């Protein structure tokens, strides 16, 4: 619970802030500063952000984020065993230099490829079926798989007994636009109906009561950016497979 739920409505005197030389009391709220506004304070799960306002890339951002996550342990739910519970995650900008140093395959420039952090089944047969599904959906939506990082290094010793029974096989998939796309992102596939023509077709079906088929899932594919296609592929895979989970899948964060 938060200080707000304990202290209730504060008087004007109770809202007085400590001087710069003193630390705030546990039930006091800091004054407005930078991006922080006390008016936006509310009870919520533990969420925080660490960043460089000047967009400087630094490992310190990651280490500070890890430290922040540890300090929010009290916000997470736990089972009888303290090593079983909700868990915690960190989202960060794609570490392009790190991936280039660790991936056994070539990567295009940053922003021209996407990364998916994926939980796969431990059973090899089921896992191979999931990999095949990724390949099919990538080709269907004009993408190509550059490669996989798997298995990723993990420390299973920190897991509790229940978490160990459900531990996934963790991998990362890298995708980019397919080579059959030209510089403008157009495919060699036949042109799909425009949005206006599809809207007109829908109006005609309503008027005529005909049973014309709906436009295919590839309609307007040539107009979709890499980021949009990555989202579509993620959605298509998630709807077709129950044994995997895609934590993130885009060209900016992971």
What is the 3 state secondary structure string of the chain? CCHHHHHCCCCCCCCCCCCCCCCCCCCCCCCCECCECHHHCCCCCCCCCCCCCCCCCCHHHHHHHHHHHHHCHHHCCECCCCCCECCCCCCCECCHHHHHHHCCCCCCCCCCCEEEEEEECCCHHHHHHHHHHHHHHHHHCCEEEEEEECCCCCCHHHCCHHHHHCCCEEEEEEEEECCCCCCCCCCCCCCCCCHHHHHHHHHHHHHHCCCCCCCCCCCCHHHCCHHHHHHHHHHHHHHHCCCCEEEEEECCEC
Active site residues: 45
Query: Whole-angstrom Cα distance, residue 148 to residue 154?
Result: 16
* 8 A C-beta contact, residue 214 and residue 122: no
Query: Whole-angstrom Cα distance, residue 180 to residue 185?
Result: 9
């Amino acid at each position: 619970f938060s200080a707000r739920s304990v202290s209730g409505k504060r008087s004007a005197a109770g809202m007085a802030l400590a001087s710069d030389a003193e630390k705030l009391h546990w039930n006091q709220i800091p004054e407005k500063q930078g991006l922080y506004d006390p008016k936006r304070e509310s009870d919520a799960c533990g969420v925080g952000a660490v960043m460089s306002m000047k967009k400087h890339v630094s490992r310190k951002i990651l280490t500070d984020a890890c430290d922040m996550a540890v300090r929010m342990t009290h916000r997470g739910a736990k089972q009888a065993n303290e090593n079983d519970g909700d868990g915690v995650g960190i989202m960060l900008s794609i570490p392009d230099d790190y991936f280039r140093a660790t991936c056994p395959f070539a990567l295009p420039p940053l922003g021209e490829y996407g990364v998916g952090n994926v939980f796969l089944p431990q059973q090899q047969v089921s896992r191979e079926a999931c990999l095949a599904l990724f390949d099919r959906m990538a080709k269907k939506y004009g993408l190509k798989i550059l490669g996989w990082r798997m298995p990723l290094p993990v420390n299973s010793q920190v897991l509790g007994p229940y978490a160990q029974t459900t531990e996934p096989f963790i991998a990362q998939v890298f995708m980019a636009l397919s080579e059959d796309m030209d510089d403008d992102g157009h495919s060699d596939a036949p042109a799909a109906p425009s949005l206006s023509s599809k809207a007109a077709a829908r109006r005609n079906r309503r008027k005529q009561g005909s049973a014309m088929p709906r436009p295919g899932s590839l309609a307007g594919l040539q107009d979709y950016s890499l980021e949009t296609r990555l989202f579509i592929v993620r959605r298509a895979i998630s709807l077709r497979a129950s044994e995997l989970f895609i934590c993130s899948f885009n060209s900016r964060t992971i």
